[in-house]
Amino acid sequence: MSHEQIKSGSMVWLHFSELKDADFDFLRKEFKFHPLDFDDIRDDSELSKLDVYKYYLFSIINIPVFDTVSNRLVKRNLAIFIGKNYVITTSRKPIETVERFFARVKRSPGLKRDALGKSTGYFLYKLLDYIFRDSNVILRELVRETERVENQVYDLNTKVTTKRLGVLRRNILFLRHIIDPERLLVDQFKHNKKSFIGNELNIYFDDVKDSLDNTSVVSDNLKNIVDGLFEVNESLLSHRMNEIIRLLTVISVVLMPPTLITGYYGMNVERLPFADDVLIVSVIITFSIIVFWFLTIGIDRRQK
């Protein structure tokens, strides 16, 4: 089995960081949870939820996690069983934020007394507060990335910029997709009537809700900024394309006379005017080289 536990007084926290079949058997044997709850944690349900039973609560929360390999935001699901004197957390894969909180509670006697020494409802607040405040690190990184991409847009690094804008926009929208349902979930916890989540905890859950509201507002503002950057980037791309088309038009017009002359004198026809004049040939070649040189300089300057 992959679970650990922390106990303080009569309260215990069981944490399953990587749920296995043996863990399912243990939970079924030791706790009389509803079969649908086991189905949810086995299937790793994607939707956040709160189910209220007579003696316990069952909830699934979605946690944003930044994947450094793909540079994308992903979602991890944490299932929570909350009873009068126990809290059980399970996940199919280890979630760094939860693992870090578990290690801190286990290592610090003071934090253990604070988190587990009052009620399971208060512990739930501490867990949610740690998880979603840790998500602010992701939000700050998105803000910094927005600033970097904004500078890159005006530097005309179009190919790289367009790709980074797409990834950034997707991450911002995905963060909102995760956070918005959790705001409703925290409200459900607050209005729950279980004895171990009393009305005195409302102010604590309001604090978590405020943190989520702030994340939602900032991510919404970031989305508006990125949408604006998309429009600016498209305008700059269009302007640059027009410049290239104009340059190609100038090139074709300038090279038309040498091309015409070369084609004319390249015909297998006798007695063409100036056909034997070396000076004329030299002038044409020199003119073509000068035009090519000026065009090359012009293209280099436009690319800088």
Whether residues 255 and 212 fall in one domain? no
Whether residues 9 and 109 fall in one domain: yes
Decide which of 183, 204, 237 is a domain's last residue.
Answer: 237
> Looking at the predicted structure, is the pLDDT value of residue 299 above 80?
no
Residues 168, 228 contacting (CB under 8 angstroms): no
Structural domain ending residue among the three candidates 215, 237, 259:
237
CA distance 189 to 198: 10
**Could you report the per-residue pLDDT of 241-285, keeping only the tens digit for each?**
777 777 777 777 766 766 776 676 666 666 666 666 667 667 767
Residue-level pLDDT at 156: 64
Other beta carbons within 10 Å of 181: 14
**Whole-model pTM?**
0.76
pLDDT in tens, 38-70: 888 888 777 888 988 888 999 999 999 888 888
Looking at the structure, tell me whether residues 168 and 246 fall in a common domain: no
Residues 115/123, Cβ–Cβ less than 8 Å? yes
Q: Are residues 31 and 95 in the same domain?
A: yes
Domain of residue 42 covers: 3-237
**Residue 65 or 2, more confident:** 65
pLDDT value, residue 256: 72
90 and 225 inside one domain:
yes
Alpha-carbon Rg for the chain, nearest whole angstrom, is 33
Do 231 and 274 lie in one domain? The reply is no
Q: What is the mean pLDDT of residues 221-238?
A: 82
**Do 76 and 218 reside in the same domain of the chain?**
yes
Greater pLDDT, 296 or 272: 296
Q: For residue 284, give the CATH number of its domain.
A: 1.20.58
Shared domain for 32 and 61, answered yes or no, is yes
Asked if residues 49 and 64 have their Cβ atoms less than 8 Å apart, the reply is no
Indicate whether 102 and 45 sit together in one domain. yes
- Our count of domains for the chain comes to 2
Does one domain contain both 225 and 263?
no
State mean pLDDT over 231-239: 75
Residues 146 and 18 in one domain: yes
- Whether 87 and 211 share a structural domain: yes
- 295-298, long-range: CB within 8 Å, 24+ apart, which pairs? 295/250, 295/251, 295/254, 298/247
Q: What is the CATH number of the domain that holds 81?
A: 3.30.460.20
CB atoms within 10 A of CB 113: 13
The string of pLDDT tens digits covering residues 160-218 is 788 888 888 999 999 988 998 898 898 888 887 777 887 888 898 999 999 899 988 99
pLDDT at 272: 63
> Pick the residue with more confidence: 166 or 287?
166
Interval 104-152: pLDDT, tens? 888 888 888 888 888 888 999 999 999 988 888 888 989 998 888 888 8
- Give the pLDDT confidence of 82-99 residue by residue, as tens digits: 998 899 999 888 888 999
Of 237, 261, 283, which residue sits at a domain end? 237
